[in-house]
Amino acid sequence: MKKIIILTLLIANIYLILGCNFNQNKEIIAEQRIGELSRIVLINTSSEPSFKFITDLESKSTMPKWAPDKSNFAYISVNNNKKNLWISDSKGTQLEVINYNDREISNFEWAPNSKEIAVEFLENSDEGNIFLYSLSLKSFLPITRPEKNAKLGSWSPDSEWIVYNIDDSIYLSNPKGVNEIFITKGKEPKWSPNGEYLIFNRIENEIQSLWIYKNIDKVVKNTGKNVKDTDYFGEVLHESEKVNISEYAWAYGGNKILYINDHENNKEIYILDVKSKDIERLTNNKVDENNIVWSDKYRSILFISNAHNNSDIYQMKPDGSSQEIILNSKDSFASLDW
């Protein structure tokens, strides 16, 4: 039986001067970690910076993500050792917990249209584990089959298709239809904003390399048509570089890829041009960077660095210049989005 529980919570603003020079009026949603606990924090980066605590430390809350139109955000919260999905308005004042048959959530991805969410639950032998949730209808629609344990990837830019992996194979599916198409071998696929490519990873000899599958839009266009079988399964992006990729994200609409290379146990940020395969290193130090996120229109990169023995929040320009600390705190931050 489906259970949809609506809770309205009034959450008090708690303001804290951050002492940073940040000239964009953007709100960062972040996971603040304090010891073994974590809470969701809304950081206002206007001329008068402030904190707003969306959750408290009585439960562990993780993975906050803005809807693409910034009208809502969602996150996972652990209560009674069970993970549930919560959705909030942009100010964090109207919160709604999403529950489907009391199943435990493991991941989610907003659709580009901001009207739907792909939700990944823990495996259940009776049902598939990836569902489509409609914000307007407040209903769930199954995407994957019961006998398969899928790992959610990402959406196509038109919100019509989803990619995911089952074991080490990548599939694409139309959530409101019945198609499930094998694409290639790999994991964690991400669809480019221009709709042309997928990037994904493969692990060989305990090293995680980055691959690209080109013309995925043509695969979608030819769905249901008689086409010749192909022996194309993607191509590796680093042919001569030694890499161990820990994170990656699309940049500039699909022309470049932002990623973190953990080669030699030092996580640094790089950017790669898809066509030329030219690589630029954006950070250079002896500490780890992680949680890379683009701002709107790719004007700035947000990331976390352990440069001062804390996981502090920084921003920089796309070429790695003008690096600036946004928040210096004795606590650690993770799972950023803005």
Confidence of residue 188 (pLDDT cuts 50, 70, 90): very high
Burial of 292 (0-12, 13-18, 19+ CB in 10 A): buried
Q: DSSP string of 270-315?
A: EEEETTT--EEE---SSS-EEEEEE-GGG--EEEEE-TTSS-EEEE
**CA torsion through residues 11, 49, 292, 160, sign:** positive
225 vs 338 pLDDT, higher one: 338
Per-residue confidence (pLDDT) for residue 332, from 0 to 100: 83
Closest C-alpha to 76, from 92, 59, 93, 90: 59
pLDDT, position 107: 98
Is the pLDDT score of 263 beyond 90?
A: no
How confident is the model at residue 229, as a pLDDT?
A: 62
Residue 22's pLDDT band, with cuts at 50, 70 and 90, is very low
Q: Across residues 156-164, what is the average pLDDT?
A: 98
The reported pTM is 0.88
Higher pLDDT, 4 or 66: 66
Each residue of 204-253: pLDDT tens digit?
A: 878 889 999 999 999 998 886 665 667 789 999 998 778 999 999 999 88
Domains of the chain: 244-338 (2.120.10.30)
* Bridge partners of residue 169, in order along the sequence: 166, 185
The model's pLDDT over 81-94, given as tens digits with 9 standing for 90+, comes to: 899 999 999 988 88
More confident residue, 132 or 126: 132
